[in-house]
């Protein structure tokens, strides 16, 4: 019989959190601590308990727990008896991330999965200083943020997050993943003893932006304008953002702007987001660990988008 775990997800109503919850709730034999209670917890702020998405989780057996994320001691009490904590917080919630790490250490959580949107090294340093057992899970850039908008409007994306323009020359390989597949990987990774105190990279396929644009034009029959963001342009944006930091060091808008432009540089100019570079950094690779995990191909995802069968992320739904 597979080992069974009590798992708490923080940030369960966000885009990544929804996928993680789905992955956990799709494996009840592994994440059920006893025959009568499903042991997947969604820890949410009291103001969020009435969100519609939470009712879909409870219908599948999850337990929604209103939680105060502002105080380490009370949060540690809420985490008592939890085996695995999975953080799906955003990069704008670093203070809450650190509090969650400290509370998990006090509660003697068996495994902590940090949010790794950034700043990554600060987060991991905090975990290691506390000798908190952990698993880092990094993923490819999302399919849902990889397709350009179509002139017809059949595909519309959140422009500030998406790769609507070529970054660099458009010919740099980028590891990608369907957000729906993240939860599948997470459910396998957190239950695997060989990933404890390790880093894992999970992805679906590797494409260049040129390949994405060409393929989408072929499948849609539409012409897509190609605008380039050069390294020089990116450097100028980064310099301007740092200037705003000096006038407002805690401004969340500047933090978000810096993160988004650095993501673009990482993906399309530096070419950091590949399996080869992940291995260099010491990551295990999800596809090699779990070759039986079925992932969605990007071409299929394009078809689903064109037919309106995929929910746009960062929507109100």
The C-alpha atoms of residue 191 and residue 84 are separated, in whole angstroms, by 9
Give the burial class of 267: count Cβ atoms within 10 A of its Cβ; 0-12 exposed, 13-18 middle, 19 or more buried. buried
Q: Which DSSP letter does residue 26 get?
A: T
Q: Mean of the per-residue pLDDT values for the chain?
A: 91
Reported as a single tens digit per residue, the pLDDT across 207-256 is 999 999 999 999 999 999 988 999 999 999 999 988 887 777 667 788 88
Catalytic hit among 51, 120, 158, 299: 120
The answer to whether residue 317 scores a pLDDT higher than 70 is no
Q: Kindly give, in sequence order, each residue whose CB lies less than 8 Å from that of residue 55, ignoring residues fewer than 6 positions away.
A: none
The C-alpha atoms of residue 66 and residue 244 are separated, in whole angstroms, by 36
Tokens of 306: 């064109």
Q: What is the pTM of this model?
A: 0.93
Reported as a single tens digit per residue, the pLDDT across 41-66 is 999 999 999 999 999 999 999 999 99
The answer to whether residue 143 scores a pLDDT higher than 50 is yes
- Domains contained in the chain, CATH given: 7-133 (3.40.50.720), 139-178+204-273+291-317 (3.90.25.10)
Long-range contacts at 103-108 (CB < 8 A, ≥ 24 apart)? 103/72, 103/73, 103/75, 103/76, 103/78, 103/79, 104/76, 104/79, 104/132, 105/130, 105/131, 105/132, 106/72, 106/73, 106/76, 106/79, 107/76, 107/77, 107/79, 107/80, 107/81, 107/82
The answer to whether residue 31 scores a pLDDT higher than 80 is no
Asked about 32 being catalytic, the answer comes back as no
Reported as a single tens digit per residue, the pLDDT across 92-114 is 888 999 999 999 999 999 999 99
């Amino acid at each position: 019989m597979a080992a069974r775990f009590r798992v708490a997800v923080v940030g369960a109503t966000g885009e990544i959190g929804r996928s993680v919850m789905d992955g956990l709730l799709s494996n009840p034999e592994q994440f059920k601590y006893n025959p009568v209670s499903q042991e997947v917890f969604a820890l949410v702020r009291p103001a969020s308990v009435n969100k519609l998405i939470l009712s879909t989780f409870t219908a599948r057996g999850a337990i929604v727990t209103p939680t105060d994320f502002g105080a380490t001691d009370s949060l540690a009490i809420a985490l008592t008896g939890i085996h695995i904590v999975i953080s799906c917080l955003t990069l704008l919630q670093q203070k809450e991330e650190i509090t969650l790490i400290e509370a998990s250490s006090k509660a003697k959580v068996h495994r902590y999965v940090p949010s790794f949107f950034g700043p990554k090294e600060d987060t991991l340093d905090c975990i290691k200083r506390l000798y908190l057992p952990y698993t880092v899970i990094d993923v490819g850039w999302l399919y849902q943020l990889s397709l350009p908008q179509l002139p017809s409007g059949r595909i519309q994306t959140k422009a500030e997050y998406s790769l609507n323009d070529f970054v660099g020359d458009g010919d740099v390989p980028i590891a990608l993943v369907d957000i729906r597949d993240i939860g599948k990987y997470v459910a396998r990774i957190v239950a695997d003893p060989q990933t404890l105190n390790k880093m894992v990279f999970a992805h679906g396929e590797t494409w260049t932006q040129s390949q994405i644009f060409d393929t989408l034009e072929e499948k849609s029959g539409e012409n897509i304008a190609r605008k380039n963001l050069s390294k020089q342009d990116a450097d100028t944006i980064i310099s301007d953002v740092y200037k705003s930091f000096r006038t407002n060091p805690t401004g969340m808008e500047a933090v978000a702007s810096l993160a988004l432009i650095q993501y673009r540089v990482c993906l399309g100019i530096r070419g950091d987001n590949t399996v080869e570079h992940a291995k260099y950094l010491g990551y295990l690779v999800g596809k090699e660990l779990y070759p039986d995990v079925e992932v969605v191909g990007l071409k299929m995802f394009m078809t689903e988008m064109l037919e309106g069968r995929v929910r746009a992320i960062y929507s109100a739904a």
